[in-house]
Amino acid sequence: MNAKKTHENNTEFGKSTSELLILKPEGYPLSGMMEEYPVIENRDVFEFYAREQWSGYVARKGDYLFDRRMFPDFAYRIIDVEPAESIIGNSTSIIVTEEETGIPSSSEIRSDVRFEDVIGQELAKQKCRLIERFLEEPERFGKWAPRNILFFGPSGTGKTMLAKALANKTDVPIIPVKATQLIGEYVGDGARQIHQLYDRAEEMAPCIIFIDELDAIALDRRFQEIRGDVSEIVNALLTEMDGIVERDGVCTICSTNRVNSLDSAVRSRFEEEIEFVLPGEEEIVHILESNVRTFPLSVEKCDFQALAKKAKGLSGRDIVEKILKTALHQAIIEDREVVTGKDFEKALARLGRKDFTPDPTHLYV
């Protein structure tokens, strides 16, 4: 009751109407023998019911909303609300996540990454223009929509960043998921989670689903025995990618650094494959210069051109995480106010080259 009164008495503090409200069912305050839990049969009807019931409440992340009618005192926790601390109104979109879906929290739904933050990858950016136009005008494409896109290339080359930048540029939500999160504990869990993922994306359409490390669930069937049977997950994913259930405005972008290990049935579903490559010397210089500007310490003049030549073959993430960050941390450990060129050189020298990523085909006959 206190939570309910708090919502009702503080509505004057809300400054705007909520655009998006994401809830998670939490259950009853007390347990008993005769409990009955609500199951949402029609999401559109539930959304209307919820808006009408909680209209005027100030929605705050982490707070609880209680059903007052059909299932009195059944609690829903507010996972996220946009804008923060806004009032639930007639135009609020309300999404209920399933319990233990494996889908990441809604804090990752909106992206602030820009195309300028992804250094290099000009060909990939150019090909992403088609996806950008589709997300801006999905009705224009009809059956010719680019629904399934594959990003492939070495790890750390900006695949995830470009997907987030694309979502930011088109102002659409993105649902990033690690493929391993889709593997359930019991038979049927994985397929259920994939269908729930697409249900959620359809509610938010136009929307991007970004599945990282696709090879974790879509490994070539010749290699399946080394990691267990995930055929049900692959079949569910293929069903969604084939468009048997229409998901208007939903674009699936998958990412892998082992494209040759993917199952052919999955790979054939992608209308476009976009390759990401390791940065060249000039791009490495740009990565170095743009990132050292954000250092909390001063940086003495350094020959980044010479450093870039030695760092050729490394990914952008390796350069940032294993050279720049290591050099900065070393200076901080030694209580220095300046990061020197020698710090970068030492960090690079300690970094072992591990560019070779063999195709597992050679392990089998």
Q: Which CATH architecture has domain 281-352?
A: Orthogonal Bundle (1.10)
Alpha-carbon gap, residue 84 to 60, rounded angstroms: 7
Tokens matching residue 138: 């999905």
DSSP state of 60: -
* Domain 115-275: assigned CATH number: 3.40.50.300
Categorise residue 330: left if φ over 0, alpha if ψ from -120 to 50, beta otherwise.
alpha
Residue 105 reports pLDDT greater than 50: no
Tokens matching residue 328: 């900065």
Reference 181, options 212, 223, 142, 224; nearest CA is: 212
CA distances in angstroms from 288 to 291, 312, 322, listed in the order given:
5, 12, 12
153 and 270 Cβ atoms separated by less than 8 Å: no
Alpha-carbon gap, residue 68 to 65, rounded angstroms: 9
198-247 pLDDT, tens digit per residue, is: 888 888 888 899 999 898 888 776 665 544 456 777 888 888 888 777 78
Alpha-carbon gap, residue 101 to 193, rounded angstroms: 6
Reference 275, options 125, 130, 147; nearest CA is: 125
| Residue 354 confidence (pLDDT) | 47
Q: What is the mean pLDDT of residues 1-5?
A: 38
Label the pairing between strands 174-178 and 298-299: unpaired
Residue 57 reports pLDDT greater than 90: yes
Task: Give the start-to-end residue ranges of the domains of the chain.
Answer: 20-96, 115-275, 281-352
Helices (H), the chain: 2-9, 43-54, 122-136, 138-141, 159-170, 189-204, 231-242, 264-267, 281-292, 304-310, 316-318, 325-333, 341-350
Residue 67 carries which side chain, given as an amino acid letter? D
Residue 276 reports pLDDT greater than 90: yes
- Before 154, cis peptide (omega within 30)? no
Q: Which of residues 265 and 33 earns the better pLDDT score?
A: 265
Average pLDDT, the chain: 81
Spatial neighbors of 92 by CB under 8 A, at least 6 apart, are 17, 18, 19, 20, 21, 51
101 and 190 Cβ atoms separated by less than 8 Å: no
For the entire predicted model, the pTM comes to 0.65
239 and 191 Cβ atoms separated by less than 8 Å: no
| Residue 361 confidence (pLDDT) | 54
| Residue 68 confidence (pLDDT) | 87
Spatial neighbors of 344 by CB under 8 A, at least 6 apart, are 302, 307, 323, 324, 327
297 and 268 Cβ atoms separated by less than 8 Å: no
164 and 114 Cβ atoms separated by less than 8 Å: no
Q: Which of residues 70 and 232 earns the better pLDDT score?
A: 70
Residue 285 reports pLDDT greater than 90: yes
Query: Quick one: angle between helices 325-333 and 341-350, nearest 10?
Result: 120
Return the residue matching tokens 């233990």.
Answer: 100
* Domain 20-96: assigned CATH number: 3.10.330
- Edge-first strand order for the sheet with 250-256 is 174-178, 207-212, 250-256, 148-152, 272-275
